């Protein structure tokens, strides 16, 4: 998904939101914002070319967001600026996991229940312009969210999951990753060979290797391989390891990509993944919603 004008405002607002988290001194905030804005402006002219000059990176919102995070981490010296929020999200997820398990156990179609749990869990997101989220409301409304309308082609997606023996599962946010662990556990127990890909290092509030390990141990996930997708928002094929790309590019794997960052990045080359790529997310912003062709705020599962 290419950068839209609304994305520029969101990138800047997110930068300010994170500067307030990381810096106490206003001069430090201004200096960080200055560097971020300079980077943004210097690359806007590349829109529509698909690849950045000399580096081969698509000009997607995820590309700009990744560089914003690197600038802020370098300037602040904080390895995981969102650690507190992520810890909090993980605790909320632990409280709600029994609700998801009961929902799965009582549903007439186990795979459909897993898709709905995965989609509902993607509601856990902070700092997106125009999207309001807080833990208390999510806890109170979680059962309603599980029954919320899901925009999807049910039969196509359920068939795609049933017919594939191998699954590459790209995680998104902390907190959400506990629900993902439950989904992965059930897919594995259905006989599927599942590879899970969290982030190799902290980037925004995405689940890292340590978050996945905590979730997997808590849920009781066994015999599931973990290969990190890198330390970028979404998937950057230029920055990802050869080990990850070996699975990602393997036609034997169905790729389940959680969240907007994965959509923003992978949608630039998704035609290579026809019939083996499913996005699962809440369309929290208008550019993503318009790109997918859904209403803003909807839960979405889309087979490419």
Single pTM value for the model: 0.94
Residues in the chain, overall count: 304
> Cβ distance 278 to 111 under 8 Å?
no
CA distance 233 to 61: 9
Which parts of the chain are beta strand (E)?
Answer: 150-152, 166-170, 193-197, 225-226, 253-258, 277-282, 299-303
What pLDDT score was predicted for residue 45? 75
How many angstroms separate the CA atoms of 185 and 191, rounded? 10
Contact by Cβ (8 Å): 75, 111: no
| The token pair that represents 157 in the structure block | 């997606």
Q: Above pLDDT 90, what percent of the chain?
A: 88
Q: Distance between CA 153 and CA 164 in Å, rounded? A: 17
**Is CATH 3.40.50.10880 what the domain over 83-303 is classified as, yes or no?**
yes
By CB atoms closer than 10 A (0-12, 13-18, 19+), residue 5 is exposed
- DSSP annotation of 202 reads -
Per-residue tens of pLDDT for the chain, all 304 residues:
999 999 999 999 999 999 999 999 999 999 999 999 999 999 987 744 444 333 444 489 999 999 999 999 999 999 999 999 999 999 999 999 999 999 999 999 999 999 999 999 999 876 677 666 778 888 889 999 999 999 999 999 999 999 999 999 999 999 999 999 999 999 999 999 999 999 999 999 999 999 999 999 999 999 899 999 999 999 999 999 999 999 999 999 999 999 999 999 999 999 999 999 999 999 999 999 999 999 999 999 999 9
Per-residue model confidence (pLDDT) at position 57: 46
How far apart CA 201 and CA 207 sit, in angstroms, is: 9
The two three-digit tokens of residue 45, written as one number: 């002219």
Count Cα atoms within 13 angstroms, Cβ side, for 181. Answer: 28
Q: What is the DSSP letter of 33?
A: H
Cβ atoms within 10 Å of 128's Cβ, excluding its own: 17
Q: How far apart are CA 208 and CA 229, in angstroms?
A: 10
User: Could you give the CA distance from residue 96 to residue 120 in angstroms, rounded to a whole number?
Assistant: 12
What's the CA gap between 152 and 156, in Å, rounded? 9
Q: What is the domain partition of the chain in residue ranges?
A: 5-76, 83-303
pLDDT (0 to 100) of residue 53: 39
Closest CA to 233 of 82, 98, 107: 82
């Amino acid at each position: 998904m290419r950068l839209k004008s609304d994305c520029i405002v969101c990138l800047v607002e997110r930068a300010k939101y994170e500067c307030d988290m990381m810096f106490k001194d206003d001069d430090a905030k201004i200096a960080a914002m200055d560097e971020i804005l300079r980077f943004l402006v210097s690359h806007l002219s590349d829109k529509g070319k698909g690849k950045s000059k000399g580096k081969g990176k698509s000009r997607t919102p995820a590309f700009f967001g990744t560089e914003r995070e690197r600038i802020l981490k370098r300037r602040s010296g904080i390895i995981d600026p969102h650690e507190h929020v992520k810890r909090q999200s993980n605790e909320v997820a632990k409280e709600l996991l029994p609700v998801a398990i009961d929902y799965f156990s009582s549903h007439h179609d186990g795979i459909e229940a897993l898709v709905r749990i995965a989609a509902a869990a993607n509601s856990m997101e902070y700092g997106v312009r125009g999207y309001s989220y807080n833990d208390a409301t999510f806890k109170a409304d979680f059962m309603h969210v599980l029954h919320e309308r899901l925009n999807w082609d049910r039969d196509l997606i359920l068939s795609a999951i049933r017919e594939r023996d191998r699954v590459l599962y790209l995680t998104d946010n902390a907190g959400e990753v506990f629900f993902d662990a439950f989904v992965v556990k059930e897919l594995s127990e259905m006989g599927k060979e599942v590879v899970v890909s969290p982030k190799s290092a902290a980037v925004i509030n995405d689940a890292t290797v340590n978050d996945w390990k905590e979730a997997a141990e808590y849920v009781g996930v066994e015999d599931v391989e973990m290969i990190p997708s890198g330390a970028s928002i979404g998937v950057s094929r230029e920055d990802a390891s050869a080990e990850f790309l070996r699975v990602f590019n393997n036609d034997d794997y169905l790729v389940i990509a959680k969240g907007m960052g994965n959509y923003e990045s992978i949608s630039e080359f998704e035609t290579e993944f026809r019939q083996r790529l499913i996005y699962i997310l809440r369309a929290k912003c208008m550019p993503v919603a318009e790109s997918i062709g859904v209403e803003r705020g909807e839960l979405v599962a889309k087979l490419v």
